[in-house]
Copies of this chain bind each other. A is one copy, B any other.
């Protein structure tokens, strides 16, 4: 469901890596964009596009993922000869057809306009995609429901993540829906207002936040040695 009737919206889930994939379609032109697809679910996602009579124009990633391989490459291959362009931030230094930076706007059909917000900290190339017309933002691994992405590898930087959230995401309208790249507890979404007030990490001071992140001591993602190199070349 979408709050804007001209934008078709679907959220999809990968139970293995707990990744959310998002599909946005322009109801009028039938053009569509997929955000953060997972390689193992490419057939599911392409079937859904077909059922909804949508033509995929873009596949965008919020960052170079470390826990799963992006579906971008497989989708581009499977949908040929239709031209589907992959998108990632220039700061990620990953291969893609289109490189975006803070302030850019991705237009898809008549109704979808995604504003690129640079939100580094989990990785140095993380971006969020904000859609004012739909009142939602795809925050990748920067801001999660009651959490945030880890900052202990891939150029992670806790101070930078805190700044991204407080100076960029938390300045969006409070009723903006937050759609993260992951959730491990069955939460599908949140709002900027809820995260400002209740995020147990990011509602704290920057100093306290940095200490919380330092104390996490997480294991490395199982797939990091496979996923990062493949994602640097768009999953090919």
Contacts and interface: CB of A to CB of B under 8 A. Distances in A.
Contact of A188 (B14, B41, B188, B197): B188
Given A1-B2, A186-B41, A186-B44, A198 B13 contact: no
Given A10-B188, A12-B187, A188-B10, A52 B194 contact: yes
A217 interface: no
Given A52-B194, A194-B51, A188 B3 contact: no
A9 interface: yes
Contacts of A13: 13, 186, 188
Contacts of A189: 1, 10
A18 B13 CA distance: 11
Contacts of A194: 51-52
Contacts of A41: 186
Interface string A3-23: 101000111111100100100
Interface in A102-160: 136
A198 B44 CA distance: 13
Interface in A197-219: 197-198
A177 interface: yes
Interface in A168-203: 177, 185-189, 194, 197-198
Given A1-B2, A44-B185, A44-B187, 9 more contacts: A1-B1, A1-B3, A2-B3, A3-B5, A12-B188, A13-B13, A15-B15, A41-B186, A52-B194
